[in-house]
Structure 1
């Protein structure tokens, strides 16, 4: 099985605008006692999650950094509501996308590297092809146009990692307190074949979660169905 990253296909000439964030989010960490770093990644997101059963919703509405103990407290409130296999980190987005958008849009929309949207009809066609792990959830985007499309956000599980051979040999291990890796994604990525899922055709990497990965089955289905909006780049593995 071959694997690919996907990105916005700029050759199509679409000039689309999306200004958005998720309805709720976990806070970042302020000065972790383990690595002395303040951080919040935010590439991982779960649009399927509904936080309305939580009484203190205001704790999840404002982007901010908190002491790690407060982050961990809020993370544990969220954990029972997450989909199976979910992995969270400081800044994780939850619930539907909210914001403004203006097209034109292709069948698939990859305006940001860590986020993939699809027109409902495009997602249904892909699901009918038997592709695995494709789940789309409604957005609350406000469109500045007539005949606005129904865009769904695809939810990805974080699975798979980069091979150590493409990472710096003198890298430090993840922080034992907060789990921060502290590495910049390498320009030449190499997938670790032993960590890749056999049951998903679309997923994001666990260690570099801004990277969305798809299988050749996904690429072939998009080409067969004539779905535009994204371009694919092969990813080697070892």
Structure 2
């Protein structure tokens, strides 16, 4: 099985605007006692999660950094609400996308490398083809146009890693307290074949979660169905 990363297909000439963020999120960590770094983010997001059962919703509405003990307390509150297979880290985003958007849009919308949306009818065509792991989640986007598309955000589980051979040989081990790895994504990525899922045709990498990966089956289905908006780039693996 061959694998690909995907990106916005700028050759189509779509000029779209999207200004959005997820409704809730976990805070970052302020000055971790293990590595002394303030950090958060990494593109892990779960748009299907509904935090409304949690009483103190305000704790999840403002992006910020908190002491690690507070981050861990809030993380434990959301863990029971996460989808199976979810991994969290400081800055993990939750709930639907909210904001403004204006098209035109293709079958897929990938204005950000780590966030992928699709028109409902496009997603349903792929699901009818038997592709695995395609979960569309509603958005709360306000459109400034007459013909409003129904865009769904794809919830992509973090699975699979890059092969150690494409990472710096002198890299430090993850922080034992917060797990921070502190690595920049290499320019030339190589997938670790032993870590790739056999049950998903679309996912994001666990260690570099800004990278969305799909199978050859996904690429072939998109081309056969004439679904536009993204371009595909092959990824080697070892």
* TM-score normalised by length of structure 1: 0.99
Q: Which residue pairs with 2:13 in the alignment?
A: 13
- Whole-Å separation in 2 of the counterparts to 1:158 and 1:48: 15
Does the 8 Å contact 2:138/2:151 carry over to 1?
A: yes
Q: Which residue pairs with 2:122 in the alignment?
A: 122
- Whole-Å separation in 1 of the counterparts to 2:56 and 2:153: 25
- Whole-Å separation in 2 of the counterparts to 1:64 and 1:70: 12
Does the 8 Å contact 2:42/2:208 carry over to 1?
A: no
How far 1:50 moved relative to its partner? Answer: 0.3
How far 1:192 moved relative to its partner? Answer: 0.2
Runs (4+) off by over 2 Å: none
Does the 8 Å contact 2:108/2:228 carry over to 1?
A: yes
3-state SS of 1:217 partner: helix
Does the 8 Å contact 2:202/2:218 carry over to 1?
A: yes
- Whole-Å separation in 2 of the counterparts to 1:34 and 1:113: 30
| Aligned residue pairs, count | 238
Q: Which residue pairs with 2:2 in the alignment?
A: 2
3-state SS of 2:48 partner: coil
Does the 8 Å contact 2:27/2:64 carry over to 1?
A: yes
The root-mean-square deviation of aligned C-alpha atoms, in Å, is 0.5
Does the 8 Å contact 1:42/1:93 carry over to 2?
A: no
- Whole-Å separation in 2 of the counterparts to 1:66 and 1:235: 37
How far 1:154 moved relative to its partner? Answer: 0.2
* Residue 108 (structure 1) aligned with residue 108 (structure 2): yes
- Whole-Å separation in 2 of the counterparts to 1:96 and 1:57: 14
Q: Which residue pairs with 2:205 in the alignment?
A: 205
How far 1:148 moved relative to its partner? Answer: 1.1
How far 1:44 moved relative to its partner? Answer: 0.5
Does the 8 Å contact 1:3/1:214 carry over to 2?
A: yes
Q: Which residue pairs with 1:95 in the alignment?
A: 95
- Whole-Å separation in 2 of the counterparts to 1:101 and 1:92: 23
- Whole-Å separation in 2 of the counterparts to 1:14 and 1:147: 15
- Whole-Å separation in 1 of the counterparts to 2:120 and 2:40: 31
Does the 8 Å contact 1:99/1:141 carry over to 2?
A: yes
How far 1:183 moved relative to its partner? Answer: 0.4
Gaps of 5+ in 2: none
3-state SS of 1:80 partner: helix
